[in-house]
Structure 1
Amino acid sequence: MSSRPANSEVPTGTLRVPGIVTALAGGAAITPVWRNELGGLTFRLDDATGGSRYVKWIAAGTPEIDLPGEAERLAWAQQWARVPPVLDQGANAEGTWLVTAAVPGRPAVDSRWKAEPAPAAAAIGRGLRLLHDALPVDRCPFDWSIERRLLRADERIADGEGPADWAPEHRHLQLTEARALLDNPPAIDRLVVCHGDACTPNTLLHDDGTFAAHVDLGSLGVADRWADLAVATWSLEWDYGPGSDGVLYDAYGVDPDPERITYYRLLYDLA
């Protein structure tokens, strides 16, 4: 549920429910809960006994979302971290889907937390630190390295993406200038297993403001912890407005690192 300032949102108005989602529901009530900037949809399925599941669906031919890969990452991470258990995963000519069990908590972009950003930012920071400390780097089969991500950046550039597609903070850069900056990464601070999209909506919080779980781990892999931290604090600005980043850093237990923040935000934007 990336919170990049594009078209990620809770769907409103009429929405066509993919046929496979209706089939998977099997009579359960279907509620759209999220649409990302690539058109991927997430639905909550509520059955008559009070049980809930979530279905993520993405249209066929959308290369940036790998739901089979996310299913693998969730199954691996579940051994050490609070993430949704995988119930089903599949594909047909129309698209690909992933079904997960519901876990306690509400997304940190819930209106409750937009009204109380400080405790939410602290919980996101603590949750991210828990994830980084719990997942074993030496046992992780997934890579989120700079080298791998630069390959994706180059693919997007080759497809014609440029400054107009970037966040406002980067649109002053020329394409060649921005790409050259990415060829000079800062030294690794600490390798961890990163979330891969540590944006505000991807942390769930309990009603008392404590961390509940992480969701949307399709890019999970080994990288410098600042690849997550830079994006987590950037996302706070998009969802809560300025002023909460220091709370997250304090809760995580780290001082801001301007060089790494700048680099990893640009990498996130281009890749």
Structure 2
Amino acid sequence: MSEYPEPVAEIPTGPVAVPPRVAALTGGRELVPVWVNGLGGLTFRDGGADGAAASYIKWVAAGTPELDLAAEAERLAWARRHGAAVPEVLAHGADASGSWLITRALSGESAVAPTWIAEPATAARAIGAGLRALHELLPVAECPFEWAIPARIARFEERVASGESPADWSDDYRELSVATARALLHDPPAVDRLVVCHGDACAPNTLLGADGEFAAHVDLGSLGLADRWADLAVAAWSIDWNHGPGFDHLVYEGYGIEPDQERISYYRLLWDLG
């Protein structure tokens, strides 16, 4: 078994069937599959036609409540209004077959592109710097969205009620009983600093420019108010999963903060189970 949580998304290595609705929305143009979410979501790059700018289209089949593209569109629009470096929403909608979100392509490459997999220290620092920029920029007092602990614990309880057991958790937590995990989740550390969190600050969701500096954030479907360590703990953990061990401390360095082991431990547990 892996030392880290099983990946829930990945760059596809083979052909990906284009859903009929996606083909219709993009004029039947040839699309490049760029991401497959373990929950069933797909992302394609559309090179555009007749000189139009490139875009990305996300697709979620009907019956996948975990992925709410309308909620993501709302969060992206709000973050952009406040100056965040995030994609511009071009269109979104839904029908009986599923839902979609089309955004304008941004310059830069994901931190898990081959260029940056080969430069893990650069990627780690840029991810930390990008989170700091987001946390400093977005106004807490005006944020209408939450990424609250109680709702995430409720998700844990739903998973347990559905039959999930510790055997399904990452190696870090597989030795815990459900009762112990529940007790730990219900004993969060005091909030260090309330910010507008990204909500899915894993390495693939930071874009880097050609100079290796932070360029933009993508995939903000869970953006909302939370302790900054809810982002930081997972961002650094994600460097381990994607780039290998030994670089996670550079996320904190890029952010400009010393690691807080109590909060890191709590928010990684919450991420894995909630």
Are 1:221 and 2:191 an aligned pair? no
**Equivalent in 61, 64, 80 of residue 66 of structure 2:** 64
3-state SS of the aligned residue for 1:193?
strand
1:93 corresponding residue in structure 2: 96
User: Aligned partners of 2:146 and 2:224: how far apart in 1?
Assistant: 4
Equivalent runs, 1:190-205 vs 2, <5 Å = 190-205=193-208
With structure 1 as the length reference, what TM-score do the two structures score? 0.96
Aligned to 2:39: 38
- Which stretches of structure 1, 4 residues or longer, exceed 6 Å deviation after superposition? none
Shift of 1:6: 2.6
Query: In structure 1, what is the equivalent of residue 53 of structure 2?
Result: 51
Q: What amino acid sits opposite 1:32 in the alignment?
A: P
Q: Is the contact between residue 4 and residue 235 of structure 1 (CA under 8 Å) also seen in structure 2?
A: no
Q: Secondary structure at the match of 1:188?
A: coil
Percent of aligned pairs with the same amino acid: 61
CA deviations over 1:178-199 (Å, ceiling 9, x no partner): 1111010000000000000000
> Given the alignment of the two structures, is residue 23 of structure 1 paired with residue 34 of structure 2, yes or no?
no
Partners of 2:242 and 2:132 lie apart in 1 by: 20
Segments of structure 2 that go 5 or more residues without pairing to the other structure are: none
Q: How does 1:181-196 map to 2 (within 5 A)?
A: 181-196=184-199
| 1:260 equivalenced with 2:256 (yes/no) | no
Once the two structures are overlaid, the 10-residue window that deviates more, 174-183 or 69-78, is 174-183
Which residue does 1:75 correspond to in 2?
A: 77
- Kept after mapping to 1: 8 A contact 2:76/2:89: yes
Secondary structure of residue in 2 paired with 1:169: coil
Superposed CA offset, 1:119-143 (max 9, x none): 1111111000000000000000001
Partner Cα distance (1:245, 1:69) in 2: 30
CA distance in structure 2 between the aligned counterparts of 1:163 and 1:207, rounded to whole angstroms: 42
Contact preservation (8 Å) 2:42, 2:59: yes
* Distance 1:4-1:58 versus aligned 2 partners, 3 A rule: farther
Deviations 1:151-187 (A, max 9, x none): 2221222122222322221111112211111010000
Give the AA of the match of 1:37.
G
Cα-to-partner distance string for 1:100-150 (whole Å, 9 max, x where unaligned): 110111100001111111111111110000000000000000011111211
* Counterpart selection for 1:147 from 133, 150, 169: 150
Letter in 2 for 1:186: P
**1:4 positional shift:** 5.5
Give me the TM-score of the superposition, normalised by structure 2: 0.95
Residue 109 of structure 1 is matched in structure 2 by 112
Of 13-22 and 190-199, deviating more is 13-22
* Residues in 2 aligned to 1:216 and 1:209: alpha-carbon distance in whole angstroms: 20
Instruction: Letter of the 1:68 partner, please give it.
Output: A
The match for 1:248 among 248, 251, 256 is 251
Q: CA RMSD in A?
A: 1.4
- For the 8 Å contact 1:144–1:196, the answer to whether it is kept is yes
In the alignment, structure 1 segments of 5+ residues that lack a partner are none
Contact (CA 8 Å) 1:29, 1:47: kept in 2 or not?
no
Q: CA shift at 1:14, angstroms?
A: 3.2
Q: In 1, Cα distance between the equivalents of 2:54 and 2:166?
A: 41
